[in-house]
Chain A
């Protein structure tokens, strides 16, 4: 009998603890971020429990490719978790419109998020916000410091500097810009949307597209295609058949100088490179004082409108608007930046470099993601195609702008007037 006593004691302790939790409520988080399971279990949830020890939180991820379907069926069956990780834009907006996500307009702490930060999780008229923004990714250029020192070039100030610098690197025998066009999305995402905001004045141009006051075939949107076309001589030989993983390897092996990047590459490159990396923001055209960066909203957390634990869920969401959460999350996932207006210090110097740009430049998001990708043809898909064609030399910048504009005008009423 004596042998069983510790076991019985444990059982009793568990029973008491279990009933204690049940009274204080428990939360389940739905997510597609399988990779972050450890971060949530070991860092984020314990940090939350330091404030609210009685709320039991379970992070319950689904495979990314199945997340949307699984979440939808759970919501329909009223068996979904209390907190729901929000995809950006229309997928979450649909959930809100169907009444599955609760409005968070009056959540204390929401004032810490700017309009750009909220843009992916608000209704079209901006009157309701339904997810607490968690992280964004920032575009820019990651470079190989060793090559820069060897060749003797510095980070460029203007777009013209940038192009002449690429020429110097090319003359020294390195591939200046490491990117291929075969997968197409890099050409649009790390090419056009990376350098473009400087030409269309960030939010001003993006909102203009949505309101129909400017088109892809005019002004900054064509200039951005022209700026992209100037990359052609500086891409590696055979870039037309170079895939995204090819380009990543090409850069981490030290053969190429500059990688047009999204900040998520920091975590990918860090363990692979044996040289120092630096980063500079997309350089604005000469004479332009303001610089713009693509600070693209990517992930957020919302509340299941039918949850039985709304009070606890709101406490969790409120905690997510604090400095503490922002710093924890950003340091755990270098390259994914918190969206709240707190001053956050990052341990990874390269990630900190990206984050500093927010103080120097104006933030915007990718032009096609909000509203404009609802129709057929899909605006974002069109941008992939023409950006790759501009880099391949099969389409002129004017032709690219006209083609995208034609697609948008074919279904989007504000652009038809």
Chain B
């Protein structure tokens, strides 16, 4: 007689807490927000089903579409600066920190990671002060190089505000890709590198020929983490430029656009259903980005057993 297999109760016990918390605080709100985006408020404070009308309005109405596209465009600029500056810089720093010729590596590692643990409100406030045309030190710093005349109210000009904020964000978060890259780099077995050296490869060749291909999975993870974080970003813009994301919405990204729509700003009352619609668009963009990563990048990676 075959022994009946007992139901694996311990699996349920171990999975339940995470499943419950995740369902209550993440999955349910996500679907409820998507549900809300398909309703429209009536004058008597109830809501009625409107299908995709809110999305049509968001993408076609002259009062909504320009703001949406402006926020999406700015968000891609924000993302591009992180991909082009933060992640290469993080890789460079990780490569230096994993090299045996650099001294005080632990000190540098701590210092470079430090801004990550600072409160974002603090970071925004400090940088606003540094850049302040009245009390700030950006003019003095440029003056050290004889460039004081180049100083601008960086956060006050439409042309420079968004890139300036992106670079402040890079300054704060560069420690994260640096640590991820560093962890991947130190995980590479020394034998591989020694073998390359024996074959006559120089440091440059070792890095691009051996190390970089081996940390490609991490490169992908860092890329997708940056994407998700950037398209959810909100706090830095809000603390430095407030909900209006000035000047003239030049620093408005999807997070701040959502905030203004949902909660309202100044005399404009909040609009929860349109706010949920903006959140729905954010969700779709992030979902799209993650799917691209999964199918176009992760599946093509060659797994190398080390």
Question: Which positions in A face B, CB cutoff 8 Å?
Answer: 180-185, 236-242, 246, 250, 373, 376-378, 380-381, 384-385, 388-389, 392, 394, 407, 410
Closest residue of chain B to A389 (Cβ to Cβ) is: B248
C-alpha gap A183/B247 in the complex (Å): 9
Q: Which of B34-42, B93-101, B155-163, B215-223 contacts A (4 or more CB under 8 A)?
A: B155-163
Max chain A Cβ within 10 angstroms of own Cβ: one of B131, B132, B134, B267 = B134
Hey, which chain A residues are within 8 Å of B248, CB to CB? Answer: 385, 388-389, 392, 394
Max chain B Cβ within 10 angstroms of own Cβ: one of A181, A182, A380, A381 = A182
B242 within 8 A of A: yes
| Structural contact, A242 and B133, CB atoms closer than 8 A | yes
C-alpha gap A181/B153 in the complex (Å): 11
| Structural contact, B247 and A240, CB atoms closer than 8 A | yes
Question: Which positions in B face A, CB cutoff 8 Å?
Answer: 62-63, 131-135, 152-158, 241-242, 244, 246-249, 265-268, 271
Asked, given contacts A242-B134, A381-B265, whether A388 binds B63 with beta carbons under 8 Å apart, the answer is no
| Structural contact, A392 and B266, CB atoms closer than 8 A | no
Hey, which chain B residues are within 8 Å of A389, CB to CB? Answer: 247-248
| Structural contact, B63 and A376, CB atoms closer than 8 A | yes
| Structural contact, A240 and B267, CB atoms closer than 8 A | no
| Structural contact, A238 and B156, CB atoms closer than 8 A | yes
In the assembled complex, 25 residue pairs joining A and B whose CB atoms fall closer than 8 Å, in A order, are A182-B156, A183-B242, A183-B246, A185-B266, A238-B132, A238-B134, A238-B153, A238-B156, A239-B133, A239-B153, A241-B131, A241-B132, A241-B133, A242-B132, A242-B156, A246-B134, A376-B268, A376-B271, A378-B266, A380-B267, A385-B248, A388-B246, A388-B247, A392-B248, A394-B158
Hey, which chain A residues are within 8 Å of B63, CB to CB? Answer: 376-377, 407, 410
| Structural contact, A181 and B133, CB atoms closer than 8 A | no
Hey, which chain B residues are within 8 Å of A183, CB to CB? Answer: 242, 246
| Structural contact, A384 and B156, CB atoms closer than 8 A | no
| Structural contact, B266 and A241, CB atoms closer than 8 A | no
Nearest 7 pairs of A and B residues by beta carbon: A238-B133, A240-B156, A241-B156, A241-B153, A238-B153, A378-B268, A240-B153
Q: How far is the CB of A233 from chain B (nearest CB, A)?
A: 15
Closest residue of chain A to B159 (Cβ to Cβ) is: A394
A-B contact count (CB 8 A): 85
C-alpha gap A377/B66 in the complex (Å): 12
Q: How far is the CB of A103 from chain B (nearest CB, A)?
A: 22
Hey, which chain B residues are within 8 Å of A388, CB to CB? Answer: 246-248
| Structural contact, B132 and A246, CB atoms closer than 8 A | yes
Q: How far is the CB of B268 from chain A (nearest CB, A)?
A: 4
C-alpha gap A164/B155 in the complex (Å): 31
C-alpha gap A377/B65 in the complex (Å): 13
Q: How far is the CB of A83 from chain B (nearest CB, A)?
A: 25
Closest residue of chain B to A238 (Cβ to Cβ) is: B133
| Structural contact, A182 and B155, CB atoms closer than 8 A | yes
Closest residue of chain A to B265 (Cβ to Cβ) is: A381
Q: How far is the CB of B266 from chain A (nearest CB, A)?
A: 6
C-alpha gap A385/B266 in the complex (Å): 12
C-alpha gap A377/B268 in the complex (Å): 8
| Structural contact, A378 and B267, CB atoms closer than 8 A | yes
Hey, which chain A residues are within 8 Å of B132, CB to CB? Answer: 238, 241-242, 246
C-alpha gap A239/B244 in the complex (Å): 17
C-alpha gap A205/B244 in the complex (Å): 28
Hey, which chain A residues are within 8 Å of B155, CB to CB? Answer: 182, 241
Known: A241-B153, A242-B134, A373-B267. 6 other contacts (CB 8 A): A182-B155, A236-B133, A238-B152, A376-B268, A384-B266, A388-B246
C-alpha gap A389/B244 in the complex (Å): 13
Asked, given contacts A242-B156, A378-B268, whether A392 binds B134 with beta carbons under 8 Å apart, the answer is no
C-alpha gap A184/B246 in the complex (Å): 8
Q: How far is the CB of A136 from chain B (nearest CB, A)?
A: 18
Max chain A Cβ within 10 angstroms of own Cβ: one of B63, B156, B157, B242 = B156
Q: How far is the CB of A237 from chain B (nearest CB, A)?
A: 6
Q: How far is the CB of A391 from chain B (nearest CB, A)?
A: 10
| Structural contact, A237 and B133, CB atoms closer than 8 A | yes
C-alpha gap A380/B267 in the complex (Å): 7
Q: How far is the CB of A219 from chain B (nearest CB, A)?
A: 25
